[in-house]
Amino acid sequence: MEKRRIRVGLLFGGRSPEHEVSITTAASIAKEADPERLEIIPIWITREGRWLELRSGAALAALAGHLLAESEIGKLGRREVLLSGAATASLVPVAPGPSAVATGEGASAAPIDVLFPALHGQGGEDGSVQGLARLADVPCVGAGILGSALGMDKISMKRVVAAHGIPVPAFVEFTRADWEKRGGDVRAGIESTLSLPVFVKPSGAGSSVGITRVTAWPDLGPAVRDAARYDYRILVEQGIDARELEIAVLGNDDPQASVVGEIISSREFYDYRAKYLEDGSKAVIPADVPTETAEAARSLAVRAFRALDLAGMARADFLLDRKDGRLYFNEVNTIPGFTPISMYPMLWAASGIAYRDLITRLVDLAIERRRATRVDTDRPDA
Give residue-wise pLDDT tens across range 299-316. Answer: 999 999 999 999 999 999
Predicted pLDDT at 147: 97
Q: Is residue 105 part of a domain?
A: yes
Predicted model pTM: 0.88
Residues 296 and 219 in one domain: no
Q: Is residue 260 part of a domain?
A: yes
Residues 157 and 266 in one domain: yes
Q: Is 292 a catalytic residue?
A: no
Residues 132 and 18 in one domain: yes
CA distance 69 to 284: 36
Q: Is residue 227 part of a domain?
A: yes
Residues 212 and 286 in one domain: no
User: What's the rounded mean pLDDT across residues 267-285?
Assistant: 62
Residues 54 and 189 in one domain: no
Residue 63 clears pLDDT 70, i.e. is over it:
no
Q: Is 317 a catalytic residue?
A: yes
Q: Is 153 a catalytic residue?
A: no
- The count of structural domains within the chain is 3
C-alpha torsion angle, residues 75, 78, 79, 82 (rounded to 10): -140
CA distance 138 to 89: 6
Residues 333 and 201 in one domain: no
Range of the domain at 85: 6-140
Q: Is residue 55 part of a domain?
A: yes
Predicted pLDDT at 2: 58
Q: Is 70 a catalytic residue?
A: yes
Residues 78 and 22 in one domain: yes
Calculate the alpha carbon distances from 203 to 21, 131, 149, 239, 329 in Å: 20, 20, 11, 16, 15
Q: How far apart are the first and last CA of the chain?
A: 33
CA distance 101 to 74: 9
Instruction: Using a pLDDT cut of 70, give the percent of the chain over it.
Output: 83
Neighbour tally for 218: CB within 10 Å: 7
Where among 219, 238, 257 does a domain terminate?
238
Residue of 20, 70, 178, 309 with catalytic role: 70
Residue of 153, 233, 331, 370 with catalytic role: 331
User: What's the rounded mean pLDDT across residues 199-219?
Assistant: 89
CA distance 14 to 138: 19
Residues 101 and 245 in one domain: no
Residue of 77, 189, 276, 368 with catalytic role: 276
Q: What is the DSSP string of 301-352?
A: HHHHHHHTT--EEEEEEEEEETTT--EEEEEEESS---STTSHHHHHHHHTT
Residue of 124, 147, 206, 337 with catalytic role: 337
Query: How does pLDDT run across 183-205, given as a tens digit for each residue?
Result: 999 999 999 999 999 999 999 87
Residues 294 and 264 in one domain: yes
Residue 99 clears pLDDT 50, i.e. is over it:
no
Residue of 243, 315, 369, 370 with catalytic role: 315
Residue of 317, 328, 369, 370 with catalytic role: 317
Q: Which of 36-50, 51-65, 295-309 has the lowest mean pLDDT?
A: 51-65
Residue 169 clears pLDDT 90, i.e. is over it:
yes
Question: Could you tell me if 194 and 213 are in contact, meaning their C-beta atoms sit under 8 angstroms apart?
Answer: no
Q: Is 134 a catalytic residue?
A: no
Question: Could you tell me if 305 and 142 are in contact, meaning their C-beta atoms sit under 8 angstroms apart?
Answer: no
User: What's the rounded mean pLDDT across residues 264-284?
Assistant: 63
Residues 18 and 129 in one domain: yes
Residue of 148, 330, 333, 342 with catalytic role: 333
Per-residue DSSP letter, 140: B
Q: Is 288 a catalytic residue?
A: no
Residues 260 and 290 in one domain: yes
Q: Is residue 359 part of a domain?
A: no
The CATH number of residue 234's host domain is 3.30.1490.20
Predicted pLDDT at 48: 85
The CATH number of residue 127's host domain is 3.40.50.20
Q: Is 337 a catalytic residue?
A: yes
Residue 41 clears pLDDT 50, i.e. is over it:
yes
Residues 230 and 245 in one domain: no
